[in-house]
A and B are shown apart, each in its own frame.
Chain A
């Protein structure tokens, strides 16, 4: 379980998160929607400790992410993250991309690491691309590689930060299909997304971010189909039309 309690985060004088409360239970899919600059990415970065926080607490499976005693490198092993940009490692083949972290972080043997990498790559539909270099693949394929690379660490949670925003429209579908598949596998996920239709379809909960606070949170029907806040309605009418 991920528990986020009253989290405040500032960059210098700019307060980006102004008291965020959110709970993500095992197996849940939570979508985060909201305007650009509202702090969605920052929240994900705080959850896996890439960014520190000024106030409040984030607890992942009983471990306080920002406590001094916490080994964040260790913690990140159970929090997979995929970004808007796929960031494939250009010097490694597809298979090596996915096998790297299992091998050097989990200290698996080369054979074991390669085996996990193969499985995850096949799972996301890249079973025929093992020896390809990422630079020769489309954005959609590279994004699926990024997902497989994260899955190869066998994480308990996946954090997705607008993973389809940098893709050509015709490639969005294949990546969303991959996310649907993960949901069906029972993966716990937080998806920051602008794909409102997708959010409505897959989420257990939708959180609408506005200027550093969660303006509205609830079931997709409630937040997307019948929002009670004026700001939510305005945002939705902008992105849906």
Chain B
């Protein structure tokens, strides 16, 4: 009988690829849903009075302050306890999206608030309705202003998505953990995984810097 451990080989490529794709998949879902929800919540926060803002702010503060890994475990444990456990992908997407939304909403709120009242009054004086002013003036100007921050949040979501492995989602980190326990080659595998995260994050952050540079000039 051969060794229980088998070294890393090309046969593992599809398995690793699944992990990579799943990481990209869940990050993309969380960034898209988090951005849409964050836009809505950020707009509400920029528009609403102090009282509603304190209420909303409280909820968002909880999402931002409690470590993601705890939110993931709490959520999947709670859902499991109801007797209708969710697929790890679904559960992970829900938690990661809400977590993303909490950060995105602050970013977008700042964007909407960066368009000052006089600019809005000028638009209204041309006959634009409230919603036309939101759509054609506040949204484009505000979003440009906060694009670098948005990208920053998106990048950290890609990295944070590794935590969804704790509830059993087969993303990159979890596939590599399984490979490590089989191959006993943690160093090579973790360096490879780290390199992969670098490979998707770095070009995005370079791109962000370039856009930011363009906006300043």
- By a beta-carbon cutoff of 8 Å, the part of chain A in contact with chain B is 48, 50, 73-74, 76-77, 79-81, 83, 85, 87, 89-91, 100-101, 104-106, 146, 149-150, 153
Contacts and interface: CB of A to CB of B under 8 A. Distances in A.
B125 A81 contact: yes
Contact of A83 (B118, B136, B141): B118
A91 to B, nearest CB: 5
A100 B127 contact: no
Nearest to B129: A73
A179 B136 CA distance: 28
A87 B132 contact: no
A80 B125 CA distance: 7
A115 B144 CA distance: 28
A101 B124 CA distance: 10
B217 to A, nearest CB: 10
Interface in B127-153: 127-129, 132, 136-137, 140-141, 144
Contacts of A100: 126, 136
Contacts, number: 54
Given A48-B125, A81-B122, 17 more contacts: A50-B124, A73-B128, A74-B127, A76-B127, A77-B127, A80-B125, A80-B126, A81-B125, A83-B122, A85-B118, A87-B118, A90-B141, A91-B141, A101-B127, A104-B128, A149-B126, A153-B127
A105 B118 contact: no
Interface of B: 118-119, 121-129, 132, 136-137, 140-141, 144
A150 B141 contact: no
A80 B122 CA distance: 10
Contact of A104 (B118, B121, B132): B132
A79 B141 CA distance: 25
A89 B128 CA distance: 13
Given A87-B118, A100-B136, A50 B128 contact: no
Contacts of A80: 125-126
Contact of A87 (B119, B129, B144): B119
The residue among B127, B128, B136 with the most chain A CB atoms within 10 A of its own CB is: B127
Contacts of B140: 91
Nearest to B130: A73
The residue among B119, B126, B129, B137 with the most chain A CB atoms within 10 A of its own CB is: B126
A81 B132 CA distance: 18
A89 B132 contact: no
Contacts of A90: 141
Contacts of B119: 87, 89
A76 B118 CA distance: 16
A105 B122 contact: no
Contacts of A105: 126-128, 132
17 contacts: A50-B121, A50-B124, A73-B124, A73-B128, A74-B127, A81-B125, A83-B121, A87-B118, A87-B119, A87-B121, A89-B119, A89-B123, A89-B141, A105-B127, A105-B132, A149-B126, A153-B127
Contacts of B136: 100, 104
Nearest to B144: A91
Contacts of A150: 125-126
A76 B125 contact: yes
Contacts of A89: 119, 123, 137, 141
A76 B124 contact: yes
Contacts of B125: 48, 50, 76, 79-81, 150
In the complex, the 8 A-B pairs of residues with the closest C-beta atoms, listed nearest first: A87-B122, A101-B126, A77-B127, A81-B125, A105-B127, A76-B127, A73-B129, A91-B140
B126 A153 contact: yes
Nearest to A79: B125
A157 to B, nearest CB: 12
Contacts of B129: 73
Nearest to B139: A91
Contacts of B123: 89
A70 to B, nearest CB: 14
The residue among A50, A80, A104 with the most chain B CB atoms within 10 A of its own CB is: A104
Nearest to A81: B125
A83 B119 CA distance: 10
